[in-house]
Amino acid sequence: MSVKVFVDGSEGTTGLQIHERLVSRPEVELVPIEPALRKDPAARADCLNAADVAFLCLPDVAARESAALVTNPDTIVIDASTAHRTDPAWSYGLPELGVEYRRRIETANRIANIGCHAGAFLLGVAPLVQSGIVPVDTRLSCFSITGYSGGGKSMIADYEATDRPATLLSPRPYALGLAHKHLPEMRQHAGLTHAPLFNPVVGPFRQGLAVTIPLALRALPGNVSPASLHAALSEAYAGATFVRVCPLGDDANLDGGFLDAQACNGTNRADVMVFGHDEQAVVIVRIDNLGKGASGSAIQCMNLRLGLAESAGLTV
C-alpha cells in the first residue's frame, strides 16, 4: 500500500514532528512543496489535492483556508489546529473516547486532531461522565503543566536562548483570562454542561504534559472512592493500545514521591493515574505534548483511517 502524504505547515513544530515520524515509513510518499511556494494558494492546492492524506499544521485561519482548497473528494484531511474540533462535520481525533469516536475516525475524510491539554483532560474525565460517576453538570477544575515546546518555534527559541531571562527558569501560569482555546472541545467531548475552570502552566522543560483533575468525592452522588474511579477508568481503557491505567496506590507511579511530567516523552502513550483518600481524589493524565498531544495522535488517526496497524510508526 502506497500513501501520498502532504504536510501543510511542515516547518512548524507539529509539522516537523509528523514529517520525522513518517519519513522512514516505506509505505508513505511525502508530497514536496518548494519552500518559496509554501504560502502560494495554487501550489498548496495542487499538493493538497494530490495527497491521499493532508495534515494541516497551521494557525486556525490558515487551516480553514487550506481545508477550503481541498476539492478532491478522496483526500483525507487531518487538521492539527483548533479550527474544527467542535465542528460536527469533522470527526474528533481521540478514538479512546469510545466506539463511536473510533468508528467516525475510521470512516471520515475530515478529522480534527486533539489539543494537547484537552486530550489529556478528556482521557481522565470522559469515562467518569459516561459512567455517571461525575454528573454532566459538575463544575470541574483542572491544572495542567506542559513543556515549552507547546508554545511553538518562538517560545522554543526564547527558552533555549543562551541569554534567556531568569523568569523562564520557573513555571509560568498563563491564559489567566480563563478563556483558553482548548476549553470548547474539553466541555463538548467530555459531555459536560459547563467548561472546566482550567489553569495551564508552562514549565522550564522542552516537552511533557500532565493534567490534574481534582475531585471532592463527597460532592459526587453515590459512594465514590479512589478505587471506584480507578475501576471505571481501567474498564474504559481495557485493551487500549496507547492508554495505560497505572496501578492504584503503587509507588512506582512516582519518582520518590514526585510525579515526573516527562515520563511519556518520545511515546504516543497516555498514563492515567488516580491518587487520593476517602474525601478527595485527583485523576492525573500524563502525555508527551508533542506525541499523543499532537503529531503522534494525528498519525494514529491516519493509521486508523487507512486501515493500518494503529501503532504503525508510533511508540507505546
| Mean pLDDT by groups of 10 residues along the chain of 316 residues | 93 94 95 92 97 98 97 98 98 98 98 98 98 98 97 95 95 97 98 98 98 98 97 98 96 94 98 97 98 98 98 96
- CATH 3.40.50.720 domain residues, the chain: 3-114+293-305
pLDDT value at residue 236: 98
- The CA R_g of the chain, rounded to the nearest whole Å, is 19
Q: Identify the pLDDT of residue 146.
A: 98
Residue-level pLDDT at 10 = 87
CATH superfamily of 3-114+293-305: NAD(P)-binding Rossmann-like Domain (3.40.50.720)
Check: CB of residue 303 under 8 Å from CB of residue 312. Answer: yes
What distance lies between CA 264 and its chain's CA centroid? Answer: 13
Active site residues: 116
- pLDDT, position 131: 97
Domain(s) labelled CATH 3.30.360.10 in the chain stretch across: 116-289
- Alpha carbon distance 38, 144 (integer Å): 34
One-letter amino acid of 28: V
Helix (H) or strand (E) holding 65: helix 60-69
CATH of 116-289 given 2.130.10.30, 3.30.360.10, 1.10.3720.10, 3.30.1330.60: 3.30.360.10
Predicted TM-score of the model (pTM): 0.97
Q: What is the pLDDT of residue 1?
A: 73
First to last CA, the chain: 24
Strands 28-30 and 53-56: unpaired
203, 265 contact by CB (below 8 A): no
pLDDT of residue 102: 98
